[in-house]
Structures are given as C-alpha cells and as structure tokens.
Amino acid sequence: MARISEVTAGQMSIWFAIILGLHVVGFLLCLGLPLLMAVMFDAGDRSLTYFSNNWLVIGLYVCPAVIGLVLPLTLYFTLKPNEQLSHSYHLLLSLHAHCVILAILSIVLTAMGLRIPYLCMISLVFYAAALLINLLSCLHDGGYYWVLIVQTLQLMPFVYFCYLFYTFLVVFFPMMGRNRDAINPDMLIAVICALGTFFALGFVAPLINMFRWSTLLLLGLGVVTFIFSMIAVSEVGFPYRPKTSVMRVNFLHTRRIFYEYDGAVSVNDSGYYFDYQDRRALRPLHDSAVNLSGLTAAESHCDEYVVCGMPCFWSSWCRALSSAAWLPREAEVVPPGSLELELLDKSAVGGREGTLRYTFQLAGPPHMSMFIRPLAGVVIDDWSFIRNMLDEPEKYSAPYQIYFSHVTTGAPLTFHIDFATSVADAPVFELGVVGHFVSSDYPRDADSRQFVAQFPDFVHVMEWPALFKRYIF
C-alpha cells in the first residue's frame, strides 16, 4: 500500500495505528451500547421485554451493537479524509485492524487456558485465505474487487456464528424468567447479542463505509432501534403469555411457631412466603385481582430470626432471602401434616467440660430442612451429618442448612450436634425446622385455594404448605 500510494512505511504505520485504535473503541462500543440499553430498560422497569417476542433483541441489542462497532471508523472516514491513501485501502486497513484484534484475543484467551479462541480462529482462517487470494491475484490493487473475495469467504463464518449465538439465545431466553430479581437478566442477553454481532459482522459491518451516505445507514439503524424501543415499552413488550412464556411465582402457605429459650411461644402466625424468580418480582400483579396488601420484605427480620424467619427450600432460596417477601394473612394456615422435634438428651461429650451434645429426633413429611445457627461465643464442634460444612469455613457459614428428603414418610430422623461453649446455663444455639408438604396430594386449606385462584392466567404458580418451627436451646 505504501509503495502504490507513494508514502513512507512510517506514515502507513501511523494511519494503521489510528484505525486500530478506533477499532478498539468500536469493539468497546459494540459491547457498551447494548449494555446501556439493558440498563436503561431495567431502570424503567421494562426488563424481559423480549421474553415472549424474541425478535425484539434485533432492534434493542443487535442494531446498537452494529452502530457501536462501525461508528468510530465512519466518523473518521467522514470527518478526516486522507487524500494520500485511497478509500479502498482505508477499508482494507480497517479489516486488517479487526484481524489484529482477533489475533490478540486468540493469544490472550489461549494464555488463560480457555477454549474460546477457536471462535476467533474461524474468522482469522477465512480472512487469511481471502487476503492470500487477493494478494496473489492483485485484486487488492483494483479498487473494491477484493471485497468480493473477502465477503464470499466470510459467508460460512457468518452463518456459523449466527447459528451459534442464536442457539445461545434460544437456550437463555427461558432461563431469564427464573434468574431471580438480584441480577438484571437483560445484561446477559445484551452481551450475547454484542459478541454475536462482533464475530458475525466484524469483517462485514465496516464495509458500509463503501457507500457515499454511510452516516445515513447508521442513522437508519438508530431509527430502527428507536422504533423497537417504542414497541418494547408497549403491550407488545409485556413479557408474559399464557401457556408459552409464563411468569413464575413461587410461594409457600406457611404456618410459623417460634419458641423462646424458656419454651414460651413468641410468634404464632400464618402467611405466604414468596421466593422471587423474576426480575420484576410481583410488580406485574399490582393491577390484577391478587391481594398483596401488607407485603413486606423478609430482610427486615434477618437479624432477629434464623433464615429471616422464612421456610426457604433449596439453598438457592436461602441465598436469595434478601429479596424474598412475606405476606401475612389473618386466617391460620392449616398444615396437612405434623412436624415434631424432640430433645432426647443433653450431655457433656466424653465428660469434657465446655462441650455439649444435643441429641434430637425429628419426625415429619418426606421433605424437611433444618437451620442451625450457633449464638455468640458458641462453635459447632461436630455433628452426626457429613462434616464438609464444618471443615470448609471459607465456603460455608452459619446458619447451616441440613436438607432431608425421602420418597415417603419413613422413620424419624435421629441426630446429634456438639457445641463448644464457655458459658453454662445460657442459650447455645438457634434451631429452625421446616416441614415441606410439596406433593399436590396434600390438601390446601380453603383460603389458600382461593388465594391461588386469584392469579391471572399468564402466571404459573408453584406452591405448597409449609410448617416452620424455631427453637432456642
């Protein structure tokens, strides 16, 4: 290029460095603009607009990614033309810059021990083949004819990347509806769309600068993004549809009985414990027939009760208690079964002073959980369960959850826990036991059935009765 354009190699290197820098900026904008769209929609409580109409991601995330990818180069070619170097060579330099970025990514990712670099190598191999053909045929010196070879050989990588990232989207779309409310699910979809655009159109999108009115093409993409955004905030963008893309709502009809150290009952109430599965929580139900008056955050009781006083089921539910909710109800929840905890023995372990062994027997439904939280100055020394939680304090911390499950109601569970404590005749630990009546064979009381019937048809309700008892020993 330097010889034909009658410029020095140093000048060519400077121009290439500028274009390479602009391409790096374009790569960052390709990721940044879709992420910005995801943040803006989430801030306006419009996340998951693509949940039912997946095609919305084209205008919401793919078009902004294309704009970000080519905007710096388009502005450079438009505002600062270089008469010494032909426009064809400018475009070729921009493709070389994309090739260099892919090569650097391949080296870095390979050094990190990842297997992702094969994505970069697919594009690099086909671009190198096109470059070799153009050099041997001298098409790179014949205006824009080299574009035909590049785009013909890029057709196969384009189809592959479209297939690959479309598969990612199809897999992740339904998962975003149960990604909980702590993380914006649109961020992941935006990143997938941005990376798909970068790999599929990295050697294609810069060629819009071949046309005289390339800025109008970018403006057109901006208009498409605006139109899709307006569609997304309308009823079309409402995420949920009956039967095809429902809103998941998990809650437990809960009866709570909390005993203090002296055996007195401090809490005896009933309500619904909601474990949010959706980024929008229960906000889509505010205009429905569901009565959510009195809904409060479970987080406010986390310091007072073990696991915030909520009968969380899986460990993932327990980790998400900061965003769970409690809806009290006046009528008492009638559990379809019993849950009995009996203290069989309390004694010093091996006659050692300061180490107490508590032996219990627990009888209840096939699915039960225990939550063990030592009080201040007390440490669990041993128990009859596997020791991995005790031996890995960097990974596990109190309250410890023990989940017990079997097919049908069987014999009571007998277990012991050893505590190391220096204080005698004082509370040692807090123990919560939960009985989950998960099967649909267990009857729900009339108030629970009426509450479930209030939910609209776009909601899939997963619910069951639960009995939560808390003790202080």
Tell me: pLDDT of 261 over 60.
yes
Rounded CA-CA distance 466/446 in Å is 15
Residues 6+ apart with CB under 8 A from 73: 19, 22, 23, 26, 94, 206, 209
Of 70, 123, 134, nearest in space to 101 by CA:
123
> β-strands 413-421, 378-383: how paired?
antiparallel
Q: What is the mean pLDDT of residues 178-196?
A: 91
pLDDT level of residue 6 (50, 70, 90 thresholds): low
Residue 145 has which token pair? 């004819």
CA 120 to mean position of chain CA atoms? 26
Q: DSSP characters for 226-278? A: HHHHHHHTSGGG---BTTTBPEEEEEEEEEEEEE-TTS-EEEEEEEEEEEE-S
Of 408, 471, 460, nearest in space to 434 by CA:
471
Least reliable range by pLDDT among 53-62, 245-254, 303-312, 348-357: 348-357
Rounded CA-CA distance 281/145 in Å is 55
pLDDT at 62: 97
Q: What is the pTM of this model?
A: 0.87
> What would the pLDDT profile of 352-375 be if each residue is shown by its tens digit?
567 899 999 999 999 999 999 999
pLDDT level of residue 287 (50, 70, 90 thresholds): confident
Q: Which helix (H) or strand (E) holds 341?
A: strand 340-348
Q: What is the DSSP letter of 314?
A: S
Residues 6+ apart with CB under 8 A from 358: 343, 345, 346, 416, 417, 418, 419, 428, 429, 473
Tell me: pLDDT of 143 over 90.
no
> What would the pLDDT profile of 406-430 be if each residue is shown by its tens digit?
877 678 899 999 999 877 678 999 9
Q: What angle, 0 to 180 degrees and rounded to 10, lies between the N-to-C axes of helices 87-111 and 146-175?
A: 40
pLDDT at 352: 58
